[in-house]
Amino acid sequence: MNMNKKIAIVAAITLTTLLGNTSAAVAADDTTYKSTVESWKASNKAAKDAYKTAVDAYKAGKSSFATAKKAINEKFKQDADASKARTKAAVDAATTTEAKKAAKASGKAELDALITARNAAIAALTPAPVKPTKPIASQKPVKP
């Protein structure tokens, strides 16, 4: 045989071998890539769902805390207004300077006790939840 024919036959065999294996390798890589992308999508979706659930819980907890704190502050305001009215009436009813000073001191002590009770009630509340951090989407897998 001629040398050129031998080279052509070897080249043809080499090309068919390379192309045949490459298409199989590409199909395997493509399947692996698709499964990697699906896994990536599922992971990101799970992170987003968990974040959404955390945000909903955060909003509910924050609302609950605000409602309870508002009720405590409203009760304090009512009690403080009543205390101020009682103190004013006692001061107005007092005839001597000493009696007026005693009524004012009593009113101040009562208001201080109300403030302490309000602060203790607020401190006893379940603290407002911490805002959840938004998930960071992982980088999409690179196509081979």
Mean pLDDT across the chain, nearest whole number?
Answer: 84
| Contact by Cβ (8 Å): 67, 125 | no
pLDDT, tens only, 34-88: 888 888 889 899 999 999 999 999 999 999 999 999 999 999 999 999 999 999 9
Distances (CA, A) of 120 to 43, 61, 92, 125: 44, 20, 32, 9
Q: At 142, list the tokens.
A: 């690179």
Q: What percent of the chain has pLDDT over 90?
A: 55
- Domain range annotation of the chain: 3-124
Residue 53: predicted pLDDT = 94
CA–CA gap between residue 97 and residue 74 (Å, rounded): 34
CA–CA gap between residue 115 and residue 126 (Å, rounded): 19
DSSP-assigned states of every residue in 58-122: HHHHHHHHHHHHHHHHHHHHHHHHHHHHHHHHHHHH--SHHHHHHHHHHHHHHHHHHHHHHHHHH
CA–CA gap between residue 106 and residue 112 (Å, rounded): 10
Tell me what percent of the chain is helix, strand and coil, each rounded to the nearest 5.
Answer: 85, 0, 15
Residue 13: predicted pLDDT = 67
Residue 138: predicted pLDDT = 78
Q: Which amino acid is at 18?
A: L
Q: At 10, list the tokens.
A: 């070897």
